[in-house]
Amino acid sequence: MGVMIDGQYQVADPGPDTSAQGAYERARSTLRDWITHDGPFTPDAGRYHLFVAWNCPWAHRTLLTRAVLGLQDAISISTALPRRTDQGWVFDGEPLLGVQALHEVYARQTPPYTGRITVPVLWDKQTAQIVSNESADITRMLSHAFDPKRRLVPAAQEAAIDKWNDMIHRRINNGVYRAGFARTQAAYDEAVHDLFAALDELDAHLATHTTLTGDHLSEADLRFFPTLARFDVAYHYAFKCNLARLTDYDHLWDYARALYAVPGVADTVTFDIYKAGYFSPSELRNPLGIVPAGPRVDWSPPPRRTITLPPPASSSD
């Protein structure tokens, strides 16, 4: 998918980063400014734009936050096509800047950007600069800056939410990639068994809890959901995460359907695009680029639990 070096796009794809032992290592995001009431990036409705891809789970968490907080009118979006080309993420009629590829957005950054071309990107229309390309930061700042009651990260639960976020990122969100991009049997075995051990732990936890942090939706749930939504249609097959399906877990499957039923969440889910993206041509994983017809996963059965946003915090919180 190429990289940027000193603001210039290089078509040559370096491939996923791996250790000497063949283990996948995710590159760190480097553009990490923040929206605050003190500025220079202030939370003004209509000022910011998200560049996303429907099939990217890291972009999905920002779309989920935007949806459940009702920020669709405050923050506009551009969506890349599910299959990348030699130009990386590309668009079919991008509405804001008229670009054809995401690297053209990165090329406008000052000072010149060096690094991978990733989504999501939070763009400031006022300064014509990227605020952040770190999905965790974007998710948190949307909640903190645009929701003054901080409903997704209540102050009393922030430490617990951060702990869940760390565990879920290491072992599940990134765990499926560690399995799917492993270059040795040993690296794959370690990754896939750690992934399913974590899923087993969370299934047990959700047997006695409505959500990860109690009775109401939190940021941790929104960071977990993108992996759940893709699990059976993509990761189970494309990434060899096949010790079990999501639908085999009694409590996780019920929890996933309850999250899917939260107003706004289903609008961010596109199962066919997930398959098109994860089964795109790959020399290592899918050289012919054939997208499988199945599986058929029915998300419509009503869950046993109901997940709601927490009530607004009081002025003293």
Catalytic residue ranges: 56, 177
Nearest CA to 274 among 54, 16, 52? 54
Contact 194, 171 (CB under 8 A): yes
Please say whether the beta carbons of 135 and 58 come within 8 A.
yes
What does the alpha-carbon distance between residue 77 and residue 94 come to, in Å, rounded to a whole number? 9
Is the separation of the CB atoms in 165 and 230 below 8 Å? no
CB-CB contact of 155 with 57 (8 Å):
no
- Compute the distance between CA of residue 23 and CA of residue 3 in angstroms, rounded to an integer: 21
Nearest to 249 by CA among 271, 269, 268, 224: 224
